Amino acid sequence: MNYSVNIRVHQYKETTLIINEKLAEMLSLTKKKRGYISFGTEKTFVDIIISEEAEIKEILLSESIIESMHIPTYLVFELRVKGNEIAIGPCIGILASRKEEVLSEKRLNDMTINLLDYQRIGGAIIVFSLEKVDTENRLIEGHCYNSKTDSFESGTFPYPQAIYLKTNLSESWENHFLSAIGDKVFNNYSFHKWEMNSWFSKEPDLIQYLPHTVLYKSKESLIDMLQKYSIIYVKPIWGMKGNGVVRVSLEAEKLCFEYPMDEENIKLIPKDDEELEKNLEALFSPEECIIQQGLDLLKYEDGIVDFRCVMQKDETRKWTCRGIFARIGVKYSIVSNISRGGSALPGAELIMKALSLDEVQTFILKEKMIDLCMKACRALDKYGYNFGTLGLDLGVDKDKNVWLIEVNNRQPNNAIALKGNDTLLFYSLLAWPLYYAKSLAGFGDKEDL
């Protein structure tokens, strides 16, 4: 059980922790004479004194301990006791950028919307840059959220107990934080489309949901796939937001390329082999693109439709589907991406409209989509990756078959909830990863996590 407390300075012996008798009873500390307190990665031994000088919702520490452990006293913390350890926390880091200059006052102010659930999370939530990490002393210069002022206060802090990664880390940095805090940095690996397909195609309960996909190597790769499917899609393995997606088909036995540019589709039909080679060189890089079978996906008002399923872990470290939204492409566009002018609707609403299903049929199809997403997320857990939030792109064809198209693990954009007219969910999606971080930091709902 966790108990919320303030921290106040006392003027007694430097190594003394003063605690109220009732709080000591609740924490099973009444017989404890000595222990150690921890905050982030900092630890120090203390002599425990039970005294009514401390109120029930506070503990008293010396100024030297507070300063040496870099504990911000303007926060409300939770206490958790395990053996001789009295943990003060949670202490959560958000590694938001590589360079400190990116963390401008405006950027920090914008980040306060990630903390609307702060009262339920509590403790120290510190935004920092890689540039301000002191590896020798295991300290960071960062910006700690102060709920009283709804702003960030700059200071020096210990390494946090868990880190929510919002930028890329090199392998050496990953290993450094692993040595310092354990496997508690999440969303710390980026995988591309071909990796995902290679992994999931070996999973018996996932392979049936994957479109046939091969790695692009040459013109022959396209021709081989077009012998199997009338339409194929070529996508950059690292592409996002529909960038670089090309639809390929045959027209009068000639290769036809279609791709979005600005707000229209460009169509190319090379007139000879020389022009074809130039087009291939301009559009595709060998082994940096995948070729995927074209699916007869749902359409709505002549716009292609796919679905974004937002999956997040909570304080119990279990995956949950937070929302499903339909993305509807611009009329006749080959992609559905909102960034290219598309729109969004709640997933269930679109399913009912596009497939003329009743509520029960819609519920069954939606549950099938969620079940697929759960299988994919659990597979990633099984592989050893530590993710806390993912965006899975699904397709539904006209026969109601569900397809797994892509897994977005590089900071999936939660703004789709705004496009789908669910403002409350948008703010909740921003805050939710901090519940998982709180659990990783040792302050989850269950003590045995």
Q: Are strands 58-62 and 16-19 parallel, antiparallel or unpaired?
A: antiparallel
Cβ(122)–Cβ(76) under 8 Å?
A: yes
CATH class of the domain comprising 3-89: mainly beta
Q: How far apart are alpha carbons 284 and 287 in whole angstroms?
A: 9
Which amino acid appears at position 361 of this protein?
A: Q
Architecture of the CATH domain 212-293? 2-Layer Sandwich (3.30)
CATH 2.40.40.20 domain residues, the chain: 3-89
Give, rounded to a whole angstrom, the gap between the first and last alpha carbons of the chain. 13
In tens, the pLDDT along 221-276 reads 999 999 999 999 999 998 765 578 999 998 888 899 988 777 678 888 988 889 98
Q: How far apart are alpha carbons 115 and 128 in whole angstroms?
A: 15
Q: How far apart are alpha carbons 239 and 200 in whole angstroms?
A: 19
Q: Looking at the predicted structure, is the pLDDT value of residue 3 above 90? A: no
Q: How far apart are alpha carbons 225 and 233 in whole angstroms?
A: 10
Q: How far apart are alpha carbons 207 and 131 in whole angstroms?
A: 42
Sheet containing 162-165: which strands, arranged edge to edge? 151-158, 139-146, 124-134, 91-97, 162-165, 185-186
Q: How far apart are alpha carbons 418 and 429 in whole angstroms?
A: 11
Q: What is the predicted pLDDT for the residue at 338?
A: 58
Q: What is the predicted pLDDT for the residue at 1?
A: 64
Q: What is the predicted pLDDT for the residue at 2?
A: 73
Residue with tokens 């229209």: 264
Q: Are strands 402-408 and 389-396 parallel, antiparallel or unpaired?
A: antiparallel
pLDDT band for 448, please (50, 70, 90 cuts): very low
Average pLDDT for 183-208: 95
Q: Looking at the predicted structure, is the pLDDT value of residue 345 above 80? A: yes
Q: How far apart are alpha carbons 325 and 366 in whole angstroms?
A: 11
Q: How far apart are alpha carbons 321 and 433 in whole angstroms?
A: 13
Q: Looking at the predicted structure, is the pLDDT value of residue 40 above 90? A: yes
List all residues 6 or more positions away from 160 whose beta carbon is below 8 Å from its beta carbon. Answer: 40, 41, 91, 92, 93, 124, 126, 140, 181, 441
Q: Looking at the predicted structure, is the pLDDT value of residue 39 above 50? A: yes
Q: What is the predicted pLDDT for the residue at 449?
A: 45
Distance of CA 239 to the CA centre of its chain: 18
382 SS3 class: helix
Which amino acid appears at position 206 of this protein?
A: L
CATH 3.30.1490 domain residues, the chain: 212-293
- The most confident of the ranges 87-96, 188-197, 419-428 is 87-96
Q: What is the predicted pLDDT for the residue at 341?
A: 62
Selecting from 3.40.50.300, 3.30.70.520, 3.30.470.20, 3.30.1360.30, what CATH number does the domain 297-441 have?
3.30.470.20
In tens, the pLDDT along 309-324 reads 999 999 999 999 999 9
In tens, the pLDDT along 128-165 reads 999 999 999 999 999 999 999 999 999 999 999 999 99
Q: How far apart are alpha carbons 335 and 344 in whole angstroms?
A: 13
CATH 3.30.470.20 domain residues, the chain: 297-441
- Residues in the chain, overall count: 449
Residue in 419, 398, 253, 254 with CA at minimum distance from that of residue 336: 419
Q: State the average pLDDT for the chain.
A: 92
Q: Looking at the predicted structure, is the pLDDT value of residue 101 above 50? A: yes
Average pLDDT for 368-391: 97
Average pLDDT for 418-447: 89
In tens, the pLDDT along 346-376 reads 999 999 999 999 999 999 999 999 999 999 9
Q: Which residues of 110-128 are buried (b: 16+ CB within 10 A; e: fewer)?
A: ebeebbeebeebbbbbbbb
